[in-house]
Structure 1
Amino acid sequence: MEIKIKKFNELTTEELYKILRVRNEVFVVEQTCIYQDCDNKDYNSYHLYVEEGNEVVGYLRIVNKGISYDEISIGRVLVKETHRNKGLSRKIMLEAIKFIEEKLNSTEIRLSGQVYIKGFYESLGFKQVSEEYLEDDIPHVEMLYKK
């Protein structure tokens, strides 16, 4: 499995379709959460994904500064259910952090993480910087990484 990172305009229509499909599969169907996934932030993002066979099994997006937050941010982090508990989420997050530090020359990263996975983000160096809040009726906290 190879990790790929592409800007929005570098994605083929097939790659984009597979990304949107898995995002909807995980966040809308699996988590039973009705929300607007296509939020125009994709245009100003890098898309990090892992394919196995003909499907995307891991994904996150790296959003440029000034779009979601003052800092670069990571969002839409997912691993397809069939590929969970195998270290893929840690692998893609570490790759994203490395890309942000080395290619985008940033030492701060912000994210809005679901509370149930807060410990995972903390294990990567993120610290909680907000009170718990609801985003699409799911408890979240804002977290910040500083190298």
Structure 2
Amino acid sequence: MKKLKKTYFLFIVAISSLLINTSCNSNDDNDTVPLADTFYIKFKANDVQQNFTDLAIINSLSKAIVGNDENQTKTVVITVPLNVTAGTYTITDEPSNVNSYGILYSSDSESISTINATGTLVITEVNDNKIKGTFNFTAENAESGPSTITVVEGEFNVEN
């Protein structure tokens, strides 16, 4: 089961990196607000602040909200149902369940790849333009870094 979860996570990361590199590199000269100033995912992982502004939304069987750091060495993936609504949800580790709410975090530099995450995801706002909310979770690490990853003060504001 761990191999299936890691394969699913790596698939999401690969697809999101491809989409981010091909769709977020345009630079319009109009007066619009840059994506980095409006949309974000941020949190503290084991007391270290993480800020992600390189974002992508992947709509497939479920919605994957993907964030990468500027060096593309750290990734967070928040999964929610396609028809997400405001509310408080339990984070589960069921990547094959398209109606579940989940979070995966990985960091190549820290040898982190989370599995078995448990916690809370609160969706505070959903409209045609954005999805906003908060999250906190604890997860096991499948790599050689720290054995437990604690994520607190999680916030996101992403384009829908």
Which bracket does the TM-score occupy, shorter chain normalised? Answer: 0.3 to 0.5
- Which structure has more relative contact order (CA 8 Å, sep 6+)? It is 2
Considering fraction of residues, name the structure with more helix. Answer: 1
Considering fraction of residues, name the structure with more strand. Answer: 2
* TM-score (normalised: structure 2): 0.31
* TM-score (normalised: structure 1): 0.32
